[in-house]
Amino acid sequence: MTLTDRPTAPGAAQRLEPLVEQFLGGPLPVRVRMWDGSETGAADGPLVHVRSRRALRRLLWAPGELGLAEAYITGDIDIDGDLADGLRAMRHAVRERGLRPPRPGVAARLKAARTALRLGAAGPRPPAPAARAGLHGVLHSKARDRAAISHHYDLSNAFYALLLDETMAYSCGYWTSDDPGYGPTDAQRDKLELICRKLGLRPGARLLDIGCGWGSLTLYAAQRHGVRVTAVTLAREQAAYVREQVAARGLADLVEVRCCDYRDIESAPGHEGGYDAVSTVEMGEHVGDAQYPGFAATLHTMVRPRGRVLVQQMSRGRNAPGGGAFIESYIAPDMHMRPLGETVALLEGAGLEVRDVEGLREHYVRTVDAWRRTLEERHEEFTGLVGEETVRVWRLYLAGGALAFDERRMGVDQILSVRPEPTGAAGMPETRAGWYAAPAEVPAARDGASTGRAR
pLDDT tens over the chain, length 455 residues: 444 444 456 788 888 887 777 766 778 888 999 999 999 888 888 899 999 989 888 887 887 888 899 999 999 999 998 888 888 887 877 777 666 666 666 776 677 777 777 777 777 889 999 999 888 888 889 899 888 888 888 889 999 999 999 999 999 999 999 999 999 999 999 999 999 999 999 999 999 999 999 999 999 999 999 999 999 999 999 999 999 999 999 999 999 999 999 999 876 554 456 899 999 999 999 999 999 999 999 999 999 999 999 999 999 988 777 678 888 899 988 889 999 999 999 999 999 999 999 999 999 999 999 999 999 999 999 999 999 999 999 999 999 999 999 999 999 999 999 999 999 999 888 888 877 777 777 765 454 444 444 32
The pLDDT assigned to 381 comes to 97
pLDDT digits (tens, 9 = 90+) for 366-415: 999 999 999 999 999 999 999 999 999 999 999 999 999 999 999 999 99
The pLDDT assigned to 443 comes to 65
Neighbours of 178 (CB within 10 A): 7
What residue segments make up the domains of the chain, in order of their start? 3-118, 142-447
The answer to whether residues 330 and 393 touch, using CB atoms and an 8 Å cutoff, is: yes
What CATH number has the domain spanning 142-447? 3.40.50.150
One-letter amino acid for residue 241 of the chain: Y
The answer to whether residues 222 and 228 touch, using CB atoms and an 8 Å cutoff, is: yes
One-letter amino acid for residue 119 of the chain: L
Give me the long-range contacts of 184-192 (CB less than 8 A, separation at least 24): 184/367, 184/370, 187/363, 187/366, 187/367, 188/216, 189/220, 192/167, 192/216, 192/217, 192/220, 192/221
Identify which of 343, 334, 344, 352 has the alpha carbon closest to the alpha carbon of residue 421.
Answer: 352
pLDDT digits (tens, 9 = 90+) for 196-255: 999 999 999 999 999 999 999 999 999 999 999 999 999 999 999 999 999 999 999 999
The pLDDT assigned to 347 comes to 98
Neighbours of 287 (CB within 10 A): 24
The pLDDT assigned to 449 comes to 45
The pLDDT assigned to 18 comes to 79
The answer to whether residues 312 and 188 touch, using CB atoms and an 8 Å cutoff, is: no
Q: What's the per-residue H, E or C state across 326-349?
A: HHHHHHCCCCCCCCHHHHHHHHHH
One-letter amino acid for residue 171 of the chain: S
